[in-house]
């Protein structure tokens, strides 16, 4: 039994490193083919690296790793050894794949409305270097932003599933969080938004707007990749018809729950409340049947972003 579990854990660990490689490679594809040609900066160290590339021609991979490694060292000193081996590998793999993409593909856009050798008669265009030749293309800003957000989201979501992070601006947010009372999520949003605003230096008001749209799409895709398509709801049901509601949850839905006993504030009477977490389909069934089971029931339904434990997602080992 022990050998079987060890073999399963070994396979799971190997798969996590495969995901790390896939995610890092996909991140490089999204950055070089979609983000960089349009001068977007969707937060993070590589958002700044894209701005530096647009302004001074610095290689994205070199600028990225030159910022990532010092941040990793500073973060370790200030926050302690929070960053595991997989995060360190991710910080190395992303610039390696980005360098390969820069060298083989260059900075050519994959999505555009036409390539040109000169900017004559064009009302809207962006430029990129094709070897030593400056080329022009008519941008399709919205479609490119959507595709870039999808690729970035899948890439970072896969890296998260592997048990790593991409480092970068997250470390800055964690350091500020240590010395302030601002939530980590708020800090990440602030830091990434400020990085997106640096695209104004390039001189196009559209760039930070599209960068923020990209961040929004990316965040939604990350949630899908990490948590899956399942959507869970937590229901608190205050009812006088306890047995009827309990029987429906146990027998018709095949789910469990917890009975909580409390006291009503108005009359001081003892009230019984059922606490149950269901997927969206079962929640709809229970909600539609509650009027039949107890027309006077009081129900509070809340979104549950992640459910761990028996019957749901397994608890992490570490």
pLDDT in tens, 10-38: 888 899 899 999 999 999 999 999 999 99
Q: What integer is the mean pLDDT of 64-79? A: 90
pLDDT of residue 190 exceeding 60? yes
How much is the pLDDT for 5?
A: 46
Higher pLDDT, 75 or 142: 142
How much is the pLDDT for 59?
A: 95
Q: In the chain, where are the structural domains located? A: 2-227, 232-304
Query: CA torsion, points 241, 244, 245, 248, in degrees to nearest 10?
Result: -170
Name, in order, each residue with C-beta under 8 angstroms of 65's C-beta and a sequence gap of 6 or more: 91, 92, 95
Mean pLDDT, the chain, whole residue set: 86
Residue 177's closest CA among 165, 168, 186?
186
Q: What integer is the mean pLDDT of 175-186? A: 77
Distance CA 80, CA 78 (A): 6
pLDDT in tens, 86-131: 888 999 999 999 999 999 999 999 999 998 888 776 677 898 888 8
Residue with tokens 């998260």: 160
Q: What integer is the mean pLDDT of 287-304? A: 88
Q: What integer is the mean pLDDT of 208-237? A: 86
Q: Which of 152-161, 180-189, 270-279 has the lowest mean pLDDT?
A: 180-189
Q: What percent of the chain has pLDDT over 90?
A: 44
Distance CA 146, CA 144 (A): 5
What is the phi-psi region of residue 168: left when phi exceeds 0, alpha when psi lies from -120 to 50, beta otherwise? Answer: left
SS (H, E, C) the chain: CHHHHHHHHHHHHHHHHHHHHHHHHHHHHHHHHHHHHHCCCCCHHHHHHHHHHHHHCCCHHHHHHHHHHHHHHHHHHHHCCCCCHHHHHHHHHHHHHHHHHHHHCCCCCCCCCCEECCCCCCCCCEEEEECCEEEEECCCHHHHHHHHHHHHHHHHHHHHHCCCCCCCHHHHHHHHHHHCCCCHHHHHHHHHHHHHHHHHHHCCCHHHHHHHHHHHHHHHHHHHHHHCCCCEEEEEEECCCHHHHHHHHHHHCCCCCEEEEEECCCCCCEEEEEEEEEEHHHHHHHHHHHHHHCCCCEEEEEEECCCECCCCECCCCC
pLDDT in tens, 134-179: 899 999 999 999 999 999 999 988 988 887 877 777 788 878 878 8
Dihedral of alpha carbons 129, 131, 137, 143, sign = negative
CATH of 232-304, one of 3.30.70.120, 3.40.50.1970, 3.10.20.70, 3.40.1010.10: 3.30.70.120
Distance CA 149, CA 170 (A): 18
How much is the pLDDT for 184?
A: 66
Residues written for the chain: 318
Backbone angles phi, psi at 257, to 5 degrees: -170, -175
pLDDT of residue 7 exceeding 70? no
């Amino acid at each position: 039994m022990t050998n079987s579990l060890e073999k399963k854990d070994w396979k799971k660990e190997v798969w996590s490193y495969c995901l790390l490689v896939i995610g890092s490679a996909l991140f490089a594809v999204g950055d070089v083919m979609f983000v960089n040609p349009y001068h977007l900066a969707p937060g993070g160290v590589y958002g700044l690296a894209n701005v530096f590339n647009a302004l001074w021609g610095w290689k994205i991979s070199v600028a990225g790793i030159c910022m990532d490694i010092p941040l990793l060292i500073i973060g370790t000193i200030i926050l302690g050894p929070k960053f595991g081996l997989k995060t360190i590998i991710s910080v190395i793999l992303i610039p390696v794949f980005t360098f390969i993409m820069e060298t083989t593909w260059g900075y050519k856009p994959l999505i555009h409305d036409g390539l040109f050798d000169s900017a004559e008669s064009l009302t809207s265009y962006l430029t990129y270097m094709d070897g030593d030749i400056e080329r022009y293309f008519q941008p399709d800003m919205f479609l490119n932003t959507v595709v870039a957000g999808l690729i970035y989201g899948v890439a970072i979501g896969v890296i998260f599933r592997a048990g790593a992070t991409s480092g970068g601006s997250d470390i800055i947010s964690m350091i500020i969080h240590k010395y302030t009372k601002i939530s980590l999520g708020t800090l990440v949003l602030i830091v990434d938004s400020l990085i997106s605003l640096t695209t104004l230096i390039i001189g196009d008001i559209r760039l930070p707007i599209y960068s923020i749209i990209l961040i929004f799409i990316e965040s939604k895709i990350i949630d899908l990749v990490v948590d899956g398509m399942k959507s869970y709801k937590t229901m608190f049901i205050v009812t006088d018809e306890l047995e009827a509601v309990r029987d429906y949850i146990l027998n018709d839905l095949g789910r469990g729950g917890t009975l909580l006993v409390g006291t009503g504030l108005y009359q001081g009477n003892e009230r019984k409340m059922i606490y149950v977490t269901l997927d969206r389909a079962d929640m709809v069934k229970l909600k539609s049947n509650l009027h039949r089971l107890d027309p006077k029931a009081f129900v509070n339904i809340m979104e549950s972003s992640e459910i761990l434990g028996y019957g749901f997602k397994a608890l992490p080992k570490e």
